[in-house]
C-alpha cells in the first residue's frame, strides 16, 4: 500500500517498547510472584507474529531484533513438567517444572508457526524445539478415552491427565487455530516433516465423521447448507459459528497442498454456507452464531424486500431451519478469510463478487466518523451500533478484503503462509530474492520521537507513555504534572494537581 511514512512512525514505537514494562521491580526468575499476567497465546500470534511478519515484508533488522527480544521473554513459560506452556503467564516467571494444568487447546497448539519461523530466521533451534515438543505431545498415543472423537481434541486438555477428553468438540473458538496450524506448519516446513500432514489429514477425516453435516434448508429448489458443528456429551449441535467459518480457508489450503480434491469441494460448500449467512440478514452482515433446527421437510422461506435489499425470513409457522443464536457482528474476519482463499485457490470471480457485497454491506452498516463499530443485531435496520472496534478489524478483516481485490502475486500463497492473525510469513525459497516493501528508516522521524540521551541503535528504552509512567510524581514540577496528565489522559480536576 506504499505506507512507508506510516511504517516509519510505527517503527519508532517498536524500537522503544520495553517488553519488561509489566514486570516492574518484581522480576524473579527463580520463583513465582504475584503480578500481572498476559495471554501467552495472544502475545505470540499478535505481537511476535506481527514483528516476524514485519521483518519478512520489510527486511528491517529492527523488527527481527525486537521479535527475538520478545521471544526470549516468553520462553520461560515453556518450563513446565509436561512441555505444555503456562498459558496465563507472569512475565519473568520461571515455572520451575510445575504443572501447566488444564489448558485451552488452541492456546498451546497454536504457537508453532511463529517460533518455527523465528528459528528459521535466526538459526536458533531452541525456538523450534520448544514448540515441536508440544506437537509431539499432541501426536502421542497417551490420549485414550471412550469420549474422544477420532483424533480430534476437546476445547481443553491436560497433558498429565490425558484420558480426560469429555468436553466440547468443535472447530470454533478454543480449537480453531490448533487445526489451522497443522496444515500451515506443513506449508512453512515445505513438507519436510510428514508429521504435520499426517495429523492434519487424520483430524479432517475425524471431523468429516463427527462434526460435518450437510442439510437441505430452502424450497423451492433446495439449498445445501454445510456446517462444521459441535459435539458435547454425545449430542451434536449443527452450529454455524462465525469463528468456525475460517475452516473453508484451512480445508481449501490443505486440499491444494496435499492434493485432496474432495476437500476442496468441502471447503467451497462450507464457505458458501458462511457467505449465505451474510446474504440472509437484513444488514447483509453475518451473525456471531446460528443453529440449524431439525426437521425432515425443506424449511420454507419467503424473500422479503426492504429498501431495495432482499433477505430471507422464516415463516412463523415453521420451527425448523437456521435460527440466529447470537445476532451480534463485531467485525470478525473468518468468512472473508475463506472467501479470499477460495478466490486465490480457484480463480472463480464469484468469490470477489460476493466479497464485494459483504464489504459494502459492512460499510453501510458499521462505518462511523472515527472507526468501524460493531452491530448489536444483524437483523435490525437501521443498524444499532455498539461502540467497539476490535483489533482484528485492522489486522485481519481489512487485510483479507484488500488482498481479495489485489493482484494474486501480492502476498502470494505460493510464497507466504499467513498466521492466524493474518500476518504473512515468507516461505523459505533458497536462491530466490525476497520481495521487500520498505527501503530505509526516516531519520527525521527518529529524531522527533527518540528522547534525549538515547544512543544510536539502542532499543527497549520505553515508549513515551512507558517513560512517563515511571515518573515519581512527588518529585516533579507542577508544569511537568500538567504534561503527565495530558499524556495519561487524566482530567485535571481528578489529577494530582491540588
Tell me the pLDDT tens digit for each residue of 375-393: 999 999 999 999 999 999 9
Q: Please, are residues 374 and 293 in contact by the beta-carbon 8 Å criterion?
A: no
Crossing angle of helices 4-16 and 49-58, rounded to 10°: 130
**Segment 294-326, tens digit of pLDDT:** 544 333 344 444 444 445 554 443 444 567 889
Asked whether the predicted pLDDT for residue 98 surpasses 80, the reply is: yes
Residue 457 neighbours by CB distance under 10 Å = 8
In the prediction, which pLDDT does 296 show?
Answer: 41
In the prediction, which pLDDT does 297 show?
Answer: 34
Binding residue per annotation — 201? no
Asked whether the predicted pLDDT for residue 361 surpasses 90, the reply is: yes
Q: Give the model's confidence band at 126: pLDDT under 50 very low, under 70 low, under 90 confident, else very high.
A: very high
Mean pLDDT in residue range 204-211: 98
Residues 6+ apart with CB under 8 A from 24: 35
Q: Of 325, 322, 324, 389, nearest to 362 (Cα)?
A: 389
- Residue in 42, 72, 125, 458 annotated catalytic: 42
In the prediction, which pLDDT does 480 show?
Answer: 77
Q: Which of 37-51, 165-179, 231-245, 470-484 has the lowest mean pLDDT?
A: 470-484
Q: d(Cα 411, Cα 399) in Å, to the nearest integer? A: 11
In the prediction, which pLDDT does 315 show?
Answer: 43
In the prediction, which pLDDT does 218 show?
Answer: 61
Arithmetic mean of pLDDT over the chain:
89
Q: Give the model's confidence band at 445: pLDDT under 50 very low, under 70 low, under 90 confident, else very high.
A: confident
Asked whether the predicted pLDDT for residue 32 surpasses 80, the reply is: no
In the prediction, which pLDDT does 94 show?
Answer: 81
Q: Which of 32-36, 38-42, 212-216, 400-404 has the lowest mean pLDDT?
A: 32-36
In the prediction, which pLDDT does 495 show?
Answer: 45
- Residue in 176, 241, 377, 396 annotated catalytic: 176
Domain borders along the chain are 1-143, 168-428, 463-498
- Residue in 56, 272, 334, 396 annotated catalytic: 334
Catalytic residue at 176? yes
Catalytic residue at 42? yes
Q: d(Cα 165, Cα 142) in Å, to the nearest integer? A: 11
Cell readout for 23 is 514486570
Asked whether the predicted pLDDT for residue 457 surpasses 90, the reply is: no
**% of the chain at pLDDT higher than 90:** 71
**% of the chain at pLDDT higher than 70:** 88
Q: Look at the chain and count its residues.
A: 498
Q: d(Cα 64, Cα 53) in Å, to the nearest integer? A: 9
Q: Give the model's confidence band at 255: pLDDT under 50 very low, under 70 low, under 90 confident, else very high.
A: very high
Residues 6+ apart with CB under 8 A from 381: 282, 283, 306, 307
Q: Please, are residues 293 and 314 in contact by the beta-carbon 8 Å criterion?
A: no
In the prediction, which pLDDT does 496 show?
Answer: 42
Backbone torsion region of residue 112, taken as left when φ is above 0, otherwise alpha when ψ lies between -120 and 50, otherwise beta: alpha
If one compares 323 and 127, the residue with the highest pLDDT of the two is 127
Backbone torsion region of residue 411, taken as left when φ is above 0, otherwise alpha when ψ lies between -120 and 50, otherwise beta: left
Crossing angle of helices 247-258 and 261-279, rounded to 10°: 160
In the prediction, which pLDDT does 113 show?
Answer: 99
The CATH number of 168-428 is 1.50.10.10
Residue 22 neighbours by CB distance under 10 Å = 15
Mean pLDDT in residue range 197-208: 99
Where is 236: in which H helix or E strand? Answer: strand 235-237
Asked whether the predicted pLDDT for residue 27 surpasses 70, the reply is: no
Q: Please, are residues 495 and 481 in contact by the beta-carbon 8 Å criterion?
A: yes
Amino acid at each position: 500500500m506504499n505506507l512507508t511514512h506510516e511504517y516509519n512512525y510505527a517503527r519508532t514505537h517498536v524500537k522503544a517498547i520495553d517488553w519488561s514494562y509489566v514486570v516492574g521491580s518484581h522480576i524473579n526468575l527463580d520463583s513465582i510472584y504475584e503480578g500481572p499476567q498476559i495471554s501467552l497465546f495472544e502475545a505470540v500470534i499478535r505481537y511476535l507474529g506481527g514483528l516476524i511478519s514485519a521483518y519478512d515484508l520489510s527486511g528491517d533488522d529492527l523488527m527481527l531484533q525486537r521479535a527475538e527480544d520478545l521471544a526470549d521473554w516468553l520462553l520461560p513459560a515453556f518450563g513446565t513438567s509436561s512441555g505444555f506452556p503456562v498459558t496465563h503467564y507472569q512475565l519473568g516467571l520461571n515455572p520451575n517444572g510445575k504443572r501447566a494444568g488444564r489448558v485451552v487447546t488452541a492456546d498451546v497448539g497454536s504457537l508453532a508457526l511463529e517460533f518455527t519461523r523465528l528459528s528459521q530466521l535466526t538459526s536458533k533451534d531452541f525456538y523450534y524445539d520448544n514448540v515441536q515438543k508440544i506437537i509431539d505431545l499432541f501426536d502421542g498415543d497417551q490420549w485414550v478415552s471412550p469420549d474422544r472423537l477420532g483424533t480430534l481434541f476437546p476445547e481443553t486438555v491436560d497433558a498429565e491427565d490425558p484420558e480426560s477428553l469429555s468436553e466440547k468438540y468443535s472447530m470454533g473458538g478454543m480449537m480453531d487455530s490448533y487445526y489451522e496450524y497443522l496444515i500451515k506448519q506443513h506449508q512453512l516446513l515445505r513438507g519436510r516433516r510428514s508429521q504435520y500432514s499426517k495429523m492434519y489429514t487424520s483430524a479432517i477425516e475425524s471431523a468429516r465423521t463427527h462434526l460435518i453435516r450437510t442439510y437441505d434448508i430452502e424450497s423451492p429448489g433446495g439449498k445445501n447448507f454445510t456446517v462444521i458443528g459441535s459435539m458435547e456429551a454425545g449430542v451434536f449441535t449443527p452450529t454455524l459459528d462465525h469463528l468456525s467459518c475460517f475452516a473453508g480457508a484451512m480445508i481449501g489450503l490443505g486440499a491444494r497442498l496435499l492434493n485432496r480434491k474432495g476437500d476442496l469441494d468441502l471447503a467451497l460448500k462450507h464457505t458458501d454456507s458462511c457467505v449465505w449467512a451474510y446474504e440472509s440478514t437484513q444488514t447483509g452482515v453475518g451473525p456471531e452464531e446460528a443453529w440449524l433446527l431439525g426437521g425432515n421437510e425443506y424449511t420454507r422461506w419467503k424473500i422479503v424486500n426492504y429498501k431495495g435489499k432482499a433477505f430471507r425470513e422464516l415463516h412463523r409457522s415453521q420451527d425448523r431451519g437456521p435460527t440466529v443464536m447470537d445476532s451480534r457482528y463485531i467485525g470478525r474476519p473468518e468468512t472473508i478469510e475463506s472467501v479470499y482463499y477460495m478466490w486465490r485457490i480457484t480463480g472463480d470471480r464469484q468469490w470477489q463478487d460476493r466479497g464485494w457485497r459483504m464489504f459494502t454491506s459492512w460499510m453501510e452498516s458499521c462505518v462511523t466518523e472515527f472507526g468501524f463499530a460493531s452491530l448489536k443485531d444483524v437483523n435490525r435496520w437501521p443498524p444499532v451500533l455498539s461502540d467497539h472496534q476490535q483489533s482484528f478489524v485492522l489486522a485481519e478483516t481489512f487485510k483479507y478484503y484488500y488482498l481479495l481485490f489485489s493482484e494474486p502475486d501480492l502476498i502470494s500463497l505460493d510464497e507466504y503462509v499467513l498466521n492466524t492473525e493474518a500476518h504473512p510469513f515468507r516461505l523459505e525459497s533458497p536462491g530466490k530474492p525476497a520481495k521487500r516493501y520498505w527501503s530505509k528508516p526516516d531519520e527525521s522521524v527518529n529524531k522527533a520521537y527518540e528522547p534525549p540521551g538515547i544512543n544510536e541503535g539502542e532499543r527497549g528504552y520505553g515508549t513515551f507513555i512507558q517513560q512517563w509512567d515511571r515518573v515519581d510524581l512527588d518529585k516533579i514540577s507542577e508544569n511537568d504534572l500538567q504534561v503527565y496528565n495530558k499524556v495519561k489522559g487524566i482530567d485535571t480536576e481528578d489529577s494530582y494537581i491540588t
